[in-house]
Structure 1
Amino acid sequence: MRFFILGNINCGKSTLAKHMQLYLKSKGLEYPILSIDDFRIKYGDGSQEKEDMAQNKFYLSVKNTRNAIIEMVGFGNIGTKIVENLDKNSCIIIYVESQPDICIKRLKIKKKILERIPYPESINNIEQTILHLDNYFKIGKLKEKWNNVCLKLYKINTTNNPDYFIEKLPIYHYHYLSEIIYLLKSLNYKKLISFGGLGRCDINIFSDIDLILITKRDIIQIYSLLKNFFESKKEEAFIIYILEEKIIIKFFSCILIEIAVISNFSKYILFYHGSNIKDISKSILIGDEKLEKEIKSQILSYVPNTIDKEINIKKLYYYLELLQKAYLNNDDFRFYFMNNLVINQIIRILCLKENITEFLYCPKNINKLLKKYKVRLIFWDMITDKQEHIKILSNFLASIGINYNVYTN
């Protein structure tokens, strides 16, 4: 993956890049730092001709280095050239936000270092450049310029702790995602779509990577390709296996990747629609505008299965009856099992209270819902007395407006 660290002059890009490189190295991943100023030092002499040469060398290095930390301001001719030649959704942007007065203050401290960099303009004009760039950042020009090629834009303030920020960044996720995209593209696969947290662009270090690969090719063939590819990388131990229509890859860094291999998008629209993806274009990792239009069309015409309150109440009562029988029979396992079915129906009913009408195996923001209604109270741990648990359950049902007493004798 290409991680672009962008921001104003002297905002702290180089410091963040070095911290990030060290962190990746500690995890066994080698990521070179490509800095435009390093190329100026190597190829420039202050003239516009040599500046153009330095920028071209920098661009070629960025283009030919698949995994890299790239440090630059983000604007100008070089920024435009890179943006115009990168694939859609193919990089991660980290914007280092800063106040111009901090950058200018650092300018005075770092004057001797900056004097070694052959800018095509006088170092005395850099203060004005900082103020000019600050206006561009403030009005959102960076996001506007990089939005098409950027999968996700993160922001860190120059005063924040870089190590803390990096530790919370799902770097591993993006690294392995990039590896999979690279492999599939090189083998001419045309349609790879993300859903779940990645599709919504809100993954964290605990998220899974959920992907949909649309192809007519056999899943066994794709499984073999991925297995051989990651074995050849020798970066990290992993487990890979097929589960029905999915290829599961579990890395020992606790990254779990699920790739659904299907022949038609409609076969997985249930899960894609349930992911509440706002920007379809950001979920397309391999594909063109035709694929985006196809997804939009199917989403517009899709009618999801919704929660039926009456049916769910009936199911709840049925499972409560079975729970009571398990209690009377002193059957711990059946009591545990039926209690979980009761909880599942209760969660469906609570979803309706929160205007969540679509229910997959696990609704979005479920943890907030569990906390709000204190659902943890009705989990049974096979240790608590069953009669006491039934009293707790009956009180809980009454608290959410369900009048049903589970009798214990």
Structure 2
Amino acid sequence: MQKMKILIIGTLGTGKTTLAMALSHETGYAYTSIDDCRTRYSDGTTDGEDAAWHHFLIACRDPSPGILEFSGGGPHLYEVRDALLGSGMPVSVIWIDMPHDLCIERASQREIVIPAPFVWAPIDYSVPAIHSGIEIAWERVWSAVPEFCARRMVFPRDLPSSEIYLRVRSNLSGEIGSLSPNDTS
């Protein structure tokens, strides 16, 4: 099995965290998301946000396999790209693309508050705005870096998360073999 970094990107409410955690559980790879880094290292200030990104970039740069998750766009886009390239690991980027109405519905139901120094726009504005940023990042970065194996996976609204997981897993299986943890080959 080839060990690698797997970066899961997408707008709010696409199921990135659910998917990334399932992949982490199955592979045994460490899981790191920017939201987890914000929860662990940020206090909601700009200094806290810098600390969260510092730790996320360390995970991206680490020369061991991992499952990573963030939106895929924004001001740290190029730093994430460079850190992943600097890891020396093969990198697979999976863009989970879901209908905006479903993402808005899911994101609106969240009760977890992630510390951030910025005021967020309403969810129904943020979901398509973040998606637009990812589209630009996809063209300029994720699908443009020849060292990355980049896939945009578009799913319908009514597809169960278990089926999304199976499709992503199947898509990755050629790259990381059986996805079994602790494989030493």
TM-score range, shorter chain: 0.7 to 0.9
In structure 2, give the amino acid aligned to 1:120: P
- Name structure 1 gaps, 5 residues minimum: 25-29, 177-204, 206-233, 239-409
Name the TM-score, length of structure 1 as normaliser: 0.38
Q: What SS is found at the alignment partner of 2:75?
A: helix
Q: Which protein has the larger Cα radius of gyration, Structure 1 or Structure 2?
A: 1
Which residue does 2:175 correspond to in 1?
A: 174
Question: Cα RMSD (Å) of the superposition?
Answer: 2.6
Q: Are 1:59 and 2:25 an aligned pair?
A: no
Which residue does 1:135 correspond to in 2?
A: 132
Q: 1:155: how far off?
A: 1.4
- Name structure 2 gaps, 5 residues minimum: none
Which residue does 1:235 correspond to in 2?
A: 183
CA–CA separation in structure 1 for the residues paired with 2:156 and 2:136: 18
CA–CA separation in structure 1 for the residues paired with 2:121 and 2:53: 22
Q: 1:132–1:5: structure 2 CA closer, same or farther, 3 Å change rule? A: same
Q: 1:35: how far off?
A: 0.7
Which residue does 1:151 correspond to in 2?
A: 149
CA–CA separation in structure 2 for the residues paired with 1:158 and 1:5: 18
In structure 2, give the amino acid aligned to 1:35: S
30, 33, 47: which one aligns with 1:32: 30
Map 1:5-404; keep pairs closer than 5 Å: 5-24=8-27, 30-87=28-85, 90-110=90-110, 112-113=111-112, 115=113, 117-123=114-120, 125-137=122-134, 139-146=135-142, 147-148=144-145, 149-157=147-155, 159=157, 160=159, 161-171=163-173, 173-175=174-176, 235=183
Q: 1:154: how far off?
A: 4.3
Q: 1:130: how far off?
A: 1.9
In structure 2, give the amino acid aligned to 1:142: W
Q: 1:157–1:120: structure 2 CA closer, same or farther, 3 Å change rule? A: farther
Q: What SS is found at the alignment partner of 1:73?
A: coil
Name the TM-score, length of structure 2 as normaliser: 0.78
Q: What SS is found at the alignment partner of 2:171?
A: coil
Does the 8 Å contact 1:5/1:95 carry over to 2?
A: yes
CA–CA separation in structure 1 for the residues paired with 2:105 and 2:150: 30
* Identity of matched residues, %: 22
CA–CA separation in structure 2 for the residues paired with 1:235 and 1:5: 22
CA–CA separation in structure 2 for the residues paired with 1:170 and 1:55: 27
CA–CA separation in structure 2 for the residues paired with 1:11 and 1:170: 18
Q: What SS is found at the alignment partner of 1:76?
A: coil
Does the 8 Å contact 1:7/1:72 carry over to 2?
A: yes
Q: 1:86: how far off?
A: 3.3
- Number of residue pairs the alignment of both structures matches: 171
Q: What SS is found at the alignment partner of 1:235?
A: coil
Structure with the larger helix share: 1
Q: 1:104: how far off?
A: 1.6
Q: What SS is found at the alignment partner of 1:77?
A: coil
Q: What SS is found at the alignment partner of 2:19?
A: helix
Which residue does 1:230 correspond to in 2?
A: none
Q: 1:50: how far off?
A: 1.0
CA–CA separation in structure 2 for the residues paired with 1:166 and 1:131: 23
Q: What SS is found at the alignment partner of 2:76?
A: helix
CA–CA separation in structure 2 for the residues paired with 1:56 and 1:2: 18
CA–CA separation in structure 1 for the residues paired with 2:31 and 2:74: 20
Q: 1:167–1:72: structure 2 CA closer, same or farther, 3 Å change rule? A: closer
CA–CA separation in structure 1 for the residues paired with 2:131 and 2:176: 31
* Alpha-carbon displacement from aligned partner over 1:304-363 (angstroms, at most 9, x marks no partner): xxxxxxxxxxxxxxxxxxxxxxxxxxxxxxxxxxxxxxxxxxxxxxxxxxxxxxxxxxxx
Q: 1:43–1:63: structure 2 CA closer, same or farther, 3 Å change rule? A: same
In structure 2, give the amino acid aligned to 1:144: R
Q: 1:158–1:33: structure 2 CA closer, same or farther, 3 Å change rule? A: farther
* Alpha-carbon displacement from aligned partner over 1:196-247 (angstroms, at most 9, x marks no partner): xxxxxxxxx9xxxxxxxxxxxxxxxxxxxxxxxxxxxx726x7xxxxxxxxx
